[in-house]
Amino acid sequence: MRIFFLSFFSFLFSVFLGAILPSAGYAARATVPAVKSGHALVVDQSSGEILFEKGADEVTAIASITKLMTAMVLIDSGLPLLETITITKADVDRFKGSKSKLRVGTQLLRAEALKLALMASENRAASALATSFPGGKEAFVEAMNQKASSLLMSDTIFVDATGLRPGNVSTASNLAKLVDAASQYPLIRQYSTAKLFDLKAKRGKRNVNLRYVNSNRLIKNSRWKISVSKTGYISESGKCLVMKTEIAGRPIVMVLLDSWGKLTRLGDANRVKKWLENRSSYKPKT
């Protein structure tokens, strides 16, 4: 009986505290999200306020997040986007052995290759953008590193245009700068968030029709407002996702790196979204 009364009074006391301390409920909601990615950063783009971070300054491989820099360098170069380029043997991935729908000899517009690289993370498309650059791949990578330096991405190194090489490294903090810069390019916003793309290309005299879908499933989710998106994966980087999005009326840059499991990075993104929405909706009583 004594134990019953002690438990009952403990319950009443907790209810009393909840009534007089409404902020206690908020504190529970305001605890940091259970992000499972190895490295993460969430920033309010308008103010620069860091809302959440986890290992944000640790250098790690970044896989195809690299392609955001590839896109900026290409657009900055002023090369004609409606010019036809060709997939060559030099664009075949012999390092990781990744597959591609774009066979050697396929001809497509430079703009189409850019769109495929951004929305579908097409490696041969990204490689072809570098191969067809004046001075070739070496000059393109040099331009990538110069651009990174101009953005004060001091912990970032690029060694190829696709991200397949683990030598492409950065930090979540540096990649937030990359996403912020990429969001200033209308073409990157448009291409990286396209849901699908039906490519009509040529291979010799034959017409080729290929369908691509966005590598980020959240693009098709009506609950998300995403203006820049890029995914990435190699074994050295784990699964990666960077986005510029709007959450609770705020422009948010989200970087999630070194995630494992098929859906973990998407789960992390949704956990961050819910956490920010709960934080922003709370209004303390006066």
Predicted local confidence at residue 151, as pLDDT: 98
Predicted local confidence at residue 17, as pLDDT: 36
Radius of gyration of the chain (CA): 23
Hey, which residues are catalytic here?
Answer: 64, 67, 121
For 62-84, what is the mean pLDDT?
Answer: 98
The values of phi and psi at residue 34, to 5°, are: -85, 70
Distance CA 48, CA 64 (A): 25
pTM for the model stands at 0.87
Residue 4 has pLDDT above 50, yes or no: no
Who contacts 16 (Cβ-Cβ below 8 Å, separation ≥6)? none
By C-alpha distance, which of 199, 204, 236, 229 is closest to 214? 229
Helix residue spans in the chain (DSSP H) = 2-20, 23-30, 66-77, 110-119, 123-131, 136-150, 172-182, 186-192, 264-281
By C-alpha distance, which of 116, 102, 240, 98 is closest to 168? 240
Q: What angle do CA 275, 251, 149 make, to 5 degrees?
A: 115
Predicted local confidence at residue 23, as pLDDT: 38
pLDDT tier at 26, thresholds 50, 70, 90: very low
CATH of 35-281, one of 3.40.50.460, 3.60.40.10, 3.40.710.10, 1.10.1060.10: 3.40.710.10
- Residues 196-222 pLDDT 10s: 999 999 998 899 999 999 999 999 999
Q: Exposure string (b/e) for 205-235, b if CB count within 10 Å is 16 or more?
A: eeebebebebbbebbeeeebebbbbbbbbbe
Structure tokens at 206: 């034959």
pLDDT tier at 279, thresholds 50, 70, 90: confident
Question: Which H/E stretch holds residue 243?
Answer: strand 238-247
pLDDT tier at 31, thresholds 50, 70, 90: confident
**Average pLDDT along the chain:** 90
For 57-66, what is the mean pLDDT?
Answer: 98
Residue 225 has pLDDT above 90, yes or no: yes
